Amino acid sequence: MGKNLGLALPSRTGLKEPVLDWTASTACSTAVRPRTSPLGSGLARLWKATKLGGLTMHKNLAKAPTYIPGLDDILQGGLPRGRTTVLKGGPGSGKTLLALEFLYRGALAGEPGIFIGFEESVEQLRQNAATLGWDLPALERENRLFLLDGRIKPDTLISGEFSLKGLLATAAGKSREMGAKRIVIDALEVVLRLFDEPRQVRNEMHLLNDWLQQAGLAAILTVRPPKRAAASTYEDFFDSMGDCLMVLDARVADQISTRRLRVVKYRGSGFGRNEYPYVITNTGIHTAPISTVGLRHKPLGEKITTGIARLDDMLDGGYRRASCVLVAGIPGTGKTILCSTFVSAACERGEKVLYISFEESEDALVENVFSAGVALKPHIESGQLRMLTSFPEAMGAEEHYIRALEAIEELSPAHVVVDAISACERIGGQQAAFEYLMRLLNACKERDITILMVNQTASDNIAEISGIGISSMVDTVIGLTYKVDYGEITRLLHVLKSRGSRHSNQQREFVITDDGIQILDLYLGAGEVLTGAARQVQEAKDRAEAQRLDYDIQAKELELKRLQLLRDQMADGVTRRAAMRGEYASSQRQHEPAGSGEEG
């Protein structure tokens, strides 16, 4: 049971605002009453409703989604409905494209829109949109999009007679006809710079502002800021009239071009307050800032083989599905071959793999690992493996990320390999590399994709193995190194970390053969684990010692046989002598004369 309290709030804009009806619970105590307010009984009742009824007065601002990937996350839902958004940016920043995409995607979603342009012709807009796959003429025929050419004719410039009234009247009529929900006015500064008197500029801007407020459309005004700070009489007015103000800019740092977007203000709504990189792809604008990404990682999955049986044993069964594996080591230790072995095994199981290479071309990588017995070409031809190769300097971090994300969406791989993350700093510095890797890692973990990252280190120092500050996100770390003993290089492998799984703590020697990587048995000698040439030397010593012991055993066996023979001979002699004595005694008894005993 409730009690309706009506409160008409004064209008900030002079237009009639909706009356808010708030409902307060009557279960509250009537003993506590506010003092009479000089503002009237309406505010007194409001005080009672909020203090005693526990009423929540929050009301979400109505928003029009832009449907631009990543932008709605920054805007927390989209641009304000029935209000104006000012979009500022210099040449090449993508103002017109963003505004047109707002209309195009809105029209596809069932919200008709109007575009008024003062700089480009309608035909140019259609042609430019077609390069992105946008069919504007089809939307125009369906009365879901209207393109109005607002460029000033030369005769109008000569006469000096120009006003926005006629243009806005045309737009108003078309808006009613098509039921428009959105409108874009592009490059308005082109018109305003035609007026000689500041008074004329102010009049036209107030006219436009009043019209937009009455139209109730989600509006975007694009403006190019002046080159000099004091060159504009209307820029401050634009900043204040917009309920939402966004600034786009294109900059070059370390010879890498990057576009950035920043929301300066957004009345009645929260928004992302940082600078966010964005790119213009072959389908439109795309931004995916890491600061707007929530932690939606899924639990690690079952064990999957590494492609090397003894490495599986060291990892208690292999890598965890959907985990992040870092293979780190100094140059020449076999990092790429180790990852390629995993890739080949995954493709043979029927799983798709995306291999991102920043250091080798597709042909070079395939040929190099084939010399170690890893055949990737059949998997590329079958479509199980896709190679994505490019120089880090070829584009900015955001473009690299979008390119990888589009490949992931198209291929739907079970695994992704990045070779090597140490090259990512050449994209635009360590921060750019960090953002690229973190976004890519998040995208993979949210999709249950196992990601292997190769990192080339300058030394075998464990402290630098993770490279670019992503060690906390890595689930398994495999370190590869080598040492030189007796003039021979020995490759070594050890598992530094394996989250959620038992793993071996031993350092194991491995060799790269024509049949791939082979991890050798442990060899204990001289009280320690020996590898490489030291192992071979100790094995030779052990063989010599074993041979010496074998010779000693053989000599002792011969001596034993000699003694046994001598013993047998002596025993045989004793037996023969005893037999001879017995025979002699017997013969003596036989030759004794008969009765010789009686004489005695």
Tens-digit pLDDT profile for residues 393-452: 888 888 899 899 999 999 999 999 999 898 888 887 888 888 899 889 988 998 999 999
Domain with 541, as residue range(s), is 524-572
Task: Measure CA 556 to chain center.
Answer: 71
pLDDT at 428: 79
Out of 177-186, 280-289, 456-465, pick the least confident.
456-465
pLDDT at 352: 98
Residue 580 in any domain: the answer is: no
CB 250 within 8 A of CB 257: yes
Question: Count H helices, E strands: the chain?
Answer: 18, 26
Let me know whether 477 and 363 are in one domain.
yes
Closest by Cα among 452, 422, 420 to 341: 452
Pairing of strands 528-529, 524-525: antiparallel
Mean pLDDT of 540-555: 81
Out of 35-39, 168-172, 234-238, 386-390, pick the least confident.
35-39
Tens-digit pLDDT profile for residues 463-521: 566 567 788 889 999 999 988 877 788 899 999 999 988 999 888 989 999 999 999 88
* Total tally of structural domains belonging to the chain: 4
Work out the burial of residue 502: count CB atoms within 10 Å of its CB; fewer than 13 is exposed, 13-18 middle, 19 or more buried. Answer: exposed
Let me know whether 26 and 48 are in one domain.
yes
Residue 400 in any domain: the answer is: yes
Let me know whether 48 and 69 are in one domain.
no
pLDDT at 306: 96
Work out the burial of residue 90: count CB atoms within 10 Å of its CB; fewer than 13 is exposed, 13-18 middle, 19 or more buried. Answer: middle
Phi, psi (degrees; rounded to nearest 5) at 557: -65, -40
**Would you tell me how many other CB atoms lie within 10 Å of the CB of residue 77?**
17
**Global pTM value:** 0.71
Let me know whether 501 and 551 are in one domain.
no
Tell which of 522, 555, 580 closes a domain.
522
Let me know whether 256 and 349 are in one domain.
no
Residue 594 in any domain: the answer is: no
Let me know whether 469 and 544 are in one domain.
no
Let me know whether 238 and 324 are in one domain.
no
In this model, does residue 533 exceed pLDDT 70?
A: no
Residue 426 in any domain: the answer is: yes
Work out the burial of residue 487: count CB atoms within 10 Å of its CB; fewer than 13 is exposed, 13-18 middle, 19 or more buried. Answer: exposed
Residue 353 in any domain: the answer is: yes
Mean pLDDT of 35-60: 50
Residue 511 in any domain: the answer is: yes
